[in-house]
Amino acid sequence: MNPLNIGNISAKLPIVQGGMGVAISLSGLASAVANAGGIGVISAVAIGMTEPDYMKNYREANKRALQKEIRKARSLTKGILGVNLMVAVTDYEDLLTVSLEEKIDVIILGAGLPLKMPKYVLEKGFDNIHTKFIPKVSSAKAAKLIFSYWAKNYNYIPDAIIVEGPMAGGHLGFKKNNLISESEVLSDIIESTVNEINYFEKEFEKEIPVIAGGGIYTGKDIYSIMQKGAKGVKMGSRFVTTHECDASIKFKETYINSKQEDIIIIDSPVGLPGRAIRNKFIDQIYSGNAKPFKCYWKCLKSCDSKNVPYCIAQALHNAAQGNMEEGFAFAGSKAYKATKIQSVPDLITELRIDYYRVKYLEYLKDLIGDNFIPEKFSLPDILPNILKIRLT
């Protein structure tokens, strides 16, 4: 696997761990992934829920908790760390500023188009900021819009771009009817985004890695999407079932106990579809039996808090803490494949072995030709064949 280079920052492995809220990817998971050579990402959304004064003092609690988690993660690793930030949250500028002040290595900006930049960035200038900016999009069109806006208004373009396809976990940037299960979709969006970005790369003489996310679960998935032009992958669900993931064991067990048919698309109160594991809480909501709740503050710009059946931030935080009766787990389309909880280093080794297995099988197929049937070959069979070919 090649390293993932984003400007002057280089991760040994081209694996970005998806930021997962609320309080699912904090300093524990992020530092473990960074130590393993990938990019470990802290999720900033409603992170202040881990603080006792969140209900009264949400803005301060969010800023304080994010600063604490970044510092804690930094104390645990010398690797590459990121923050995942949703443009759709009402304290977006505050959280972005905290992340930049803390000199986080990368910032991923999703759930909305990151066009406007806070005062901190405008005053300091992009070139004087350590952090690399990575918008997350679901189409080449959205990528073009962001790049054109930044080029025109800031004379600067993002340092990398994440393209997330329709098979991802969490909120999705697609209309519900477009959430079809064709595996080609992500690769198509990757190819068109690579083409779109190419113009800006030339114009700014800057390499912009395209990173693919959504439904990437195995080393084979990583290898396949990289053949389409992705320079890295973003994986969320696969990291949930690790010891280091910051969620409760009960949350992780919902992944292990889930079946393919349990992974469903829900209408999230924020006005976007989301992919989650069906449970009693979700069934209650759909049967109109939601409990009344109080919104302490409007944390998401698009949430119609007076008319939605539940608070999504609270439900996700409850689940992260193991209270699955009053919450549910977001999950990607392949989350049901989880069979065990393992350490991050073991998971990375598994991914690498699978990646190289697929890569070399392809190499051998190329070398040996149509006679090569992987299932029929063992290493002692393959070696003489290679030698024969080499000799002729």
Ligand X SMILES: Cc1cc2nc3c(=O)[nH]c(=O)nc-3n(C[C@H](O)[C@H](O)[C@H](O)COP(=O)(O)O)c2cc1C
Interacting residues with ligand X (CB under 6 A): 18-21, 24, 43, 45, 84, 86, 110-111, 164, 167-170, 213-216, 234-238, 329-332, 334
Q: Which is nearer to ligand X, 228 or 365 (CB)?
A: 228
Q: One-letter amino acid identity for 177?
A: N
CB of 131 to ligand X, least distance (A): 17
Distance CA 147, CA 129 (A): 18
Q: How many CB atoms lie within 10 A of CB 120?
A: 15
Q: Which is nearer to ligand X, 188 or 203 (CB)?
A: 188
Residue 37 or 214 with smaller CB distance to ligand X: 214
Closest contact distance (angstroms) between CB of 323 and ligand X is: 15
Minimum gap (Å) between residue 312 Cβ and ligand X: 10
CA distance 65 to 169: 24
Q: Residue with CB nearest ligand X?
A: 236
Residues 6+ apart with CB under 8 A from 79: 11, 31, 33, 34, 35, 36, 37, 38, 39, 40
**Minimum separation from the CB atom of position 236 to ligand X (A):** 2
| Residue 119 tokens, joined | 């005062």
The smaller minimum CB distance to ligand X, of residues 96 and 391, is found at: 96
Cβ closer to ligand X: 235 or 299? 235
**Angle, CA of 38, 43 and 44, to the nearest 5°:** 140
Q: Which helix (H) or strand (E) holds 60?
A: helix 58-76
Q: How far is the CB of 335 from ligand X (least distance, A)?
A: 7
Nearest-angstrom CA–CA distance, 11 and 34: 8
Which CB sits closer to ligand X, 214 or 232? 214
Q: Vertex 160, ends 141 and 24: CA angle to 5°?
A: 100
Report the distance separating Cα 106 and Cα 260, nearest Å: 33
Q: Which is nearer to ligand X, 34 or 331 (CB)?
A: 331
Query: Measured from the CB of residue 320, what is the shortest distance to ligand X in angstroms?
Result: 8
Name the β-bridge partners of 235.
Answer: 17
Least Cβ distance, residue 150 to ligand X (angstroms): 19
| C-alpha separations of 279 from 28, 167, 262 in Å | 27, 19, 8
Name 266's Cβ contacts closer than 8 Å, sequence gap at least 6: 273, 274, 275, 276, 282
What is the smallest separation between the CB atom of 333 and ligand X, expressed in angstroms?
A: 6
Are the C-beta atoms of residues 91 and 49 closer than 8 Å to each other? no
Closer residue to ligand X, CB minimum distance, 132 or 334: 334
